[in-house]
Amino acid sequence: MIERLQTCAAVAAIELRDVHKAFGPIKAVNGLDLEVPEGICLGLLGPNGAGKSTTMRLLTSQAIADSGSLRALGYELPREGKRARAEMGVVPQLDNLDVDVSVYDNLSVFARLYRVKDVDAAVDRALGLARLADRKHDAVDELSGGMRRRMLIARGLVHDPKLILLDEPTVGLDPQIRAEVWTLVDALRTEGKTILMSTHYIEEAERLADEVALMTAGAIVARGKPADLVLEHAGRETAEVFGPPDRLAEVRKRAEAAGLPVRATGPAVAIVGSENATDGAVPEDAVVRPASLEDVFVKLTGEELE
Amino acid sequence: MSQTQIGTRRLEPAAIAGVMSREVANFQTFWKSTIFSSLMEPVIYLLAFGLGLGATLITDVQGLDYVEFVGTGMVATAVIFSSAFPAMFGTFVKHRFQNTYDAILAAPVDVEELVTAEMLWISLRAGAFGFFPLLVTMLFGLDPTWGMLLVPFFGFITALSFAGGGIAVAATVPKIDQFNYVTTLVVTPLFLTAGTFFPIDQLPEWAQVLAQFNPLHQLVVLVRDACFGFEAVDLLRVLGLSILAIVAWRIAVKRMTLCLID
C-alpha cells in the first residue's frame, strides 16, 4: 500500500499516451496524449464529436482503447480499471438518477457500490456538499433541474474520490442552474481535488479550469492556462465588424491580406489579433473586445465550438 | 473516506449486493402493484380454467382435481412472466433509456457482477412470486405439504435461465418492439407446452419429446411432485435446470459485455 502511494505521488492522476480508439471508420480518439497532474482542474474543451466523451469512457474502462497506454491514479487501464474507478468519481453528461427513489436511497446505493464503510455518514457528507441535506428523504422526481444536477455531482462524490471526471457538467442547463453547478465545481477545485472536465462551453472552461486542453478530431491541439493560450494564439484583442455580406467579404479580404486570421461569427466577421493590424486592415467602426478561447479554438482547428 | 478492498477477486459479493440494493430500493416504490397482480392473476386463471373448464368439461387430470392441476402448473406461468419479461424490458430500459448501467459501470463494478446481480434479483423475486399460485390454490382446496417449501427454490433456478436469456436478448436487439419475436416464438410456446393447462401426453410424440427440453415443463413436474410426492428423477431435473441456468448466465455476461463496453 505504502509502495503504491509513493508511486502515485510520482505520477500524474491521468496519463494517456498515444491512445487510439475507433468506431468502425470513425477515429473517435486519434493519438491522444494527455497528462493531468494531481490537484488541478483540467478543462477538455472541444466541439461535439471531438472525442471528449470517448476519453471519459476510456478512463472508466467502459471503452477499451485499440492501442496506446492509459493510467489513472497509478493504475493501468483497463486491467486495473476497477481499482481505479474505486478512487474516481464520475458525473455523467446525462441524468441517470433513479427518479422514483429517494435522494438518500440513490446515494446510499452508490456508497455501497463504492464499498464505503459508513454509508450514512458518506451520504450526509455528499448531501452537505451539494446543499441538498433538507431534501434527503424526497423522491428525485420532486427535485428541480438544478437540484438534480447537484445530486448527480453528489453521487459522484459520495466516496470522496481523489479524481473527479465531469462529462459536460452543464450541457443543456439554463444559466441559473449552470451557475449553481459552477459554484459547486469551483468549491471542489478550491479543495484541491483533481478534476477532468469535458465541456464545449468556452465560459465554463475559462471560469473553472486551471488549464485547458483544446481537443478536436480525437487529439489535443493546444494546452495551457486559458489566459496564456489566448495570448499565445489569439493575441490581446479581437475586432468584430458588422454589416451586409458584401462589406463583410471586403473586410475579410483586407484583413487576410494583412495576414490576420478572420472568422465568421454569425452576422459579423471577427479579426483575431487586431492589435497587430496595419492601417486599414480593421475598419474604424469595428467593435474591439478582448480575445477569447473561442478565437484560439477556431484559429487552431477551423471549427466552431457551438 | 473509508472503503473496503476492491478489485482483488472476481464476482465481489459487495459489488453484487450493491447492484441488488438498487433493485430493492426501486422495488420498494412499486411492490404493492406487482404483488397485487402476482396474487390476482392465479385467482383469475383458476376461476376461468379451474372452475370454468373444471366444472363443465374436465373433472380430473392424471388423477388430480383440475383446479389443483392448473394451480400447481400456474407456478411455471408466474415464474416465466416474472423473470423473462422483467429481464428483457427492464434491462433494455435501464440500458437504452435510463442509462442506469453507465452509472453503475462507472463505479467499481464490472459487467459480470452487474449481470449476476440482475439475474439473482430477478430470480429471487420470480421464485417468491412463483409460490403465490400455490398459496391461492390452497384457498381452492390444495393440501399443504412440506415439499412445497422447495417450490421457491425450483422457481429460482428455473427463473435464472429466463433472466439470463432475457438479459441476453435485451443486449442483442436494436429496438424494444423486437421483443415481440421472442414472446411469440419462444415464451408463448414454452408457456403453452409446459403442461400447465393440459398434460403433455396429449400432444403428438415429437412434441412430447420437445417438451422434455422445456425448462418450464420440468418446473411444472417438480412443483407437482413437491405437492404430491417426489421421485428420484427429480434430482436430474434440478441438475438440468441448474446447468441451463449456468449456460444462460455465461451467454448473458458475454452479450452484455459486447453491448456495454465499447
Cβ contacts of A108 on chain B, cutoff 8 Å: 21, 25
| B222 compared with B202, residue with greater pLDDT | B222
d(CA B7, CA B1) in angstroms, rounded, equals 17
d(CA B64, CA A40) in angstroms, rounded, equals 75
pLDDT band at A303 (very low <50, low <70, confident <90, very high): low
Q: Which residue has the cell 450493491?
A: B18
Span A265-283, average pLDDT: 80
Give the distance between the most distant pair of CA atoms in chain A: 69
Vertex B58 angle, CA B56 and B61, to 5°: 160
pLDDT recorded at residue B30? 92
Answer whether B200's CB lies under 8 Å from B211's CB: yes
Span A10-30, average pLDDT: 90
pLDDT recorded at residue A5? 43
Q: Which residue from B minimizes the CA distance to A120?
A: B1
Domain ranges of chain A: 2-224, 236-290
Smallest CA–CA separation between A272 and chain B, in Å?
40
Q: Which residue from B minimizes the CA distance to A166?
A: B106
Task: Kindly list the residues of chain A whose beta carbon comes within 8 Å of any beta carbon in chain B.
Answer: 21, 23, 54, 57, 60-64, 80, 82-83, 85-86, 90, 92, 94, 96, 98, 100-102, 105-106, 108-110, 112-118, 122, 125, 139, 155, 159-160
pLDDT band at A208 (very low <50, low <70, confident <90, very high): confident
Task: Kindly list the residues of chain B whose beta carbon comes within 8 Å of any beta carbon in chain A.
Answer: 1-7, 14-15, 17-19, 21-22, 25-26, 28-30, 98-100, 102-110, 260-262
Span B194-220, average pLDDT: 89
Give the distance between the most distant pair of CA atoms in chain B: 69
CB distance B102–A110 less than 8 Å? no
Tell which CATH architecture fits domain A2-224: 3-Layer(aba) Sandwich (3.40)
* Predicted TM-score of the model (pTM): 0.88
d(CA A295, CA A305) in angstroms, rounded, equals 10
Q: Which residue from A minimizes the CA distance to B105?
A: A62
Indicate if the pLDDT at residue A76 is higher than 50. yes
Residue A114 is nearest to which of B30, B105, B107, comparing CB atoms?
B107
Cβ contacts of B90 on chain A, cutoff 8 Å: none
Cβ contacts of B29 on chain A, cutoff 8 Å: 100-101, 139
CB distance A92–B99 less than 8 Å? yes
Smallest CA–CA separation between A246 and chain B, in Å?
48
Q: Which of A143-157, A277-291, B94-108 has the lowest mean pLDDT?
A: A277-291
pLDDT recorded at residue B259? 94
CB distance B99–A96 less than 8 Å? yes
Indicate if the pLDDT at residue A172 is higher than 80. no
Nearest to A134 by CA among A122, A149, A151, A117: A151
User: What are phi and psi for residue A35, nearest 5 degrees?
Assistant: -125, 125
Span B213-239, average pLDDT: 94
Cell numbers placing A183? 459554484
pLDDT recorded at residue B44? 86
Residue A82 is nearest to which of B6, B18, B261, comparing CB atoms?
B6
CB distance B29–A100 less than 8 Å? yes
| Mean of per-residue pLDDT scores for chain A | 87
Q: Which residue from A minimizes the CA distance to B256?
A: A62
Span A149-178, average pLDDT: 89
Indicate if the pLDDT at residue A305 is higher than 60. no
pLDDT recorded at residue A3? 44
Q: Which residue has the cell 383458476?
A: B46
Q: Which residue from A minimizes the CA distance to B3?
A: A116
pLDDT per residue over A127-136, tens digit each?
998 889 999 9
In the Cβ-directed half-sphere of B3, how many Cα atoms lie within 13 Å? 24
Cell numbers placing B99? 442509462
Nearest to A162 by CA among A53, A83, A51: A83
Residue B2 is nearest to which of A23, A61, A118, comparing CB atoms?
A118
Answer whether A116's CB lies under 8 Å from A122's CB: yes
pLDDT recorded at residue B82? 92
Cβ contacts of B4 on chain A, cutoff 8 Å: 115, 117
Answer whether B213's CB lies under 8 Å from B189's CB: no
| B106 compared with A276, residue with greater pLDDT | B106
Instruction: Identify the bridge partners of residue A167 per DSSP, sorted by sequence position.
Output: A198
Answer whether A19's CB lies under 8 Å from A29's CB: yes
Q: How far is CA B23 from CA B19, B100, B125, in A?
A: 7, 11, 11
Residue A62 is nearest to which of B1, B98, B262, comparing CB atoms?
B262
What dotted CATH number matches A236-290? 3.30.70
d(CA A87, CA A66) in angstroms, rounded, equals 24
CB distance A115–B6 less than 8 Å? yes
Residue B3 is nearest to which of A61, A90, A159, comparing CB atoms?
A159
Cell numbers placing A229? 493560450
Instruction: Identify the bridge partners of residue A212 per DSSP, sorted by sequence position.
Output: A43, A224
Share of chain B above pLDDT 70, in %: 95
pLDDT band at B159 (very low <50, low <70, confident <90, very high): very high
Smallest CA–CA separation between B189 and chain A, in Å?
35
Report CA Rg, chain A: 22
Q: Which residue from B minimizes the CA distance to A84?
A: B108
pLDDT recorded at residue A94? 87
Indicate if the pLDDT at residue A8 is higher than 50. no
